[in-house]
Structure 1
Amino acid sequence: MARPAAPAEHDEAAEVVPAGKSKKKLFIIIGALVVLLGGGGAAAWFFSQPDDSPREAEEKLQKAPVYLALETFTVNLQDSEQYMQVDITLQVPDQAQVDAIKLHMPRVRSRLLTLLSSRHADELVSAADKLKLAQEIQAQVVQPFDPKGKPQQVDDVLFTSFVIQ
């Protein structure tokens, strides 16, 4: 009977040795998982970062143009039976300027109608003439609406339609 006891002791020793090897494999697998998860997390963080710094992103947002389309102007030109029909769009730096101009739109339209109706047809023929008119329109719009108010900001005046008949 001593013989059967010996193989049982041998089986316990055999079971202990593979358990040690399986712990080694378990540590290797856990270590590999930690490395993979850490690498995946690092890659996700790296690729989720914006290309620009926050300051550059803000500058890009601030530089986005804001446009305000004015209603069509139709005016009789000086000393002729011709008239001009023009669509004007203003480029302004921000929505606050759009709101300020819209608030005083009757005053803006009055200024521009006076300016446009004071022109002669032969003063509006060339591209240079139209550029000069755009600058004069800009000068009229940026004038303060209130005597003690500050001027509006208008970056550009764009003609979207320009007809003289």
Structure 2
Amino acid sequence: MANKKTLFNLLFLLLFSILVAAITFAATLWYSQQNAPSASMNAWLASLFQSEPEATRQPAFHSLDKVVVSVKGKRQTHFVMLELAVQTHYPERIKQIDSYMPLVRNALLKMFSKKKYEELQNQQTIEQLQQEVKQTLTDAFANTTIARDIDDVLFTKYVIQ
């Protein structure tokens, strides 16, 4: 008999706690709406109820700024000009990549500093180079949310001079 009474009391306390928490949350929302909430409170409330944007069916492409890097040759220094586009299914989230262009340039500069002009001239390396650029950018964005949104990196222009 004591076990049933204890179980009933625990169940009652659990339900009572849930009810108090729900009333407190509702009262907080009501109070914040009645007293002209600040911008930070509005942002917090919006983020609380906002869901992640949905992926688009068709991939979207976001062009990055042109990048020019130098590479060493046997007799002189040469230049590589790249225009890249990022393929994504989250075009709204990928827009913030533009503010990370210094990070993109730095990562590509480091990658190309290890390359030689003669190996870049070989047309068979374009696919391999494209994969290497994608991996370099994915690694550069590893500590950001952008990495998850990059499906592919495409060369839209590739010039070696």
Task: Calculate the TM-score normalised by the size of structure 1.
Answer: 0.53
Letter paired with 2:158? F
Q: Which runs of 5+ in 1 are unaligned?
A: 1-58
- 8 Å CA contact 1:141–1:154 kept in 2: the answer is no
Correspondence 1:13-162 to 2 at 5 A: 62-79=56-73, 80-143=76-139, 145=141, 147=143, 149=144, 151-162=147-158
SS of the residue 2:110 aligns to: helix
Aligned equivalents of 2:104, 2:72: Cα separation in 1: 21
Superposition deviation, residue 111 in structure 1: 0.6
Letter paired with 1:77? V
SS of the residue 2:65 aligns to: coil
- 8 Å CA contact 1:141–1:152 kept in 2: the answer is no
Larger gyration radius, structure 1 or structure 2: 1
Q: Aligned residues: percent identity?
A: 27
Instruction: Specify whether residues 152 and 123 from structure 1 end up closer, same or farther in structure 2 by C-alpha distance, changes over 3 A only.
Output: farther
Instruction: Specify whether residues 86 and 144 from structure 1 end up closer, same or farther in structure 2 by C-alpha distance, changes over 3 A only.
Output: closer
Provide, for residues 24-43 of structure 1, a one-character-per-residue CA deviation record: whole Å limited to 9, x for no partner. Answer: xxxxxxxxxxxxxxxxxxxx
Q: CA RMSD in A?
A: 2.5
Superposition deviation, residue 125 in structure 1: 2.5
Instruction: Specify whether residues 146 and 88 from structure 1 end up closer, same or farther in structure 2 by C-alpha distance, changes over 3 A only.
Output: closer
Residues matched between the structures, number: 105
